[in-house]
Amino acid sequence: MAKKTARVRYKHKPEAENIRRLYWILGVLSFVTLFIIFFVIGDYGLYQIYVLNKQKNRITDHIAELKLEQDSMQAERNRLETDMEYIERLARERYRMAKKGEKVFRVIERPAQK
């Protein structure tokens, strides 16, 4: 006698269970999509936080540079208000002024020959 082999029969799942599984998959995909939209791409998302943090660092560096420039200008102002030798030197260098009795020489450069 020939031995009969047992056939494994797969049960088809009922329609309701397939629909339930489909709803579950759609729910998970919707949740993942909303998570990505709100927390990665949105106004308070990771990318926006990264951009704002980078901008904040740039502005902080610019403020530090402006404070240094302000300090140097304040020092220049104080020197202009108090240091007469500094004022005389600036008048001679920038405005080509001279004291009485001093001779001022003007250097004229020759044009370059071709």
Give the pLDDT of residue 28: 95
The set of residues, in sequence order, having a beta carbon less than 8 Å from that of 41 and lying 6+ positions away, is: 47
d(CA 48, CA 53): 8
Give the pLDDT of residue 3: 63
d(CA 46, CA 38): 9
Give the pLDDT of residue 6: 61
Give the pLDDT of residue 75: 96
pTM: 0.53
Give the pLDDT of residue 96: 79
Give the pLDDT of residue 112: 82
Give the pLDDT of residue 66: 98
CB distance 45 to 38 below 8 Å: yes
- 10-residue mean pLDDT series, the chain (114 residues): 61 76 93 84 82 96 98 96 92 83 81 79
d(CA 35, CA 28): 10
Give the pLDDT of residue 54: 97
Q: Delimit the domains of the chain by residue range.
A: 15-42, 45-99
d(CA 89, CA 72): 18
Amino acid at 106: R
Give the pLDDT of residue 8: 60
Give the pLDDT of residue 79: 95
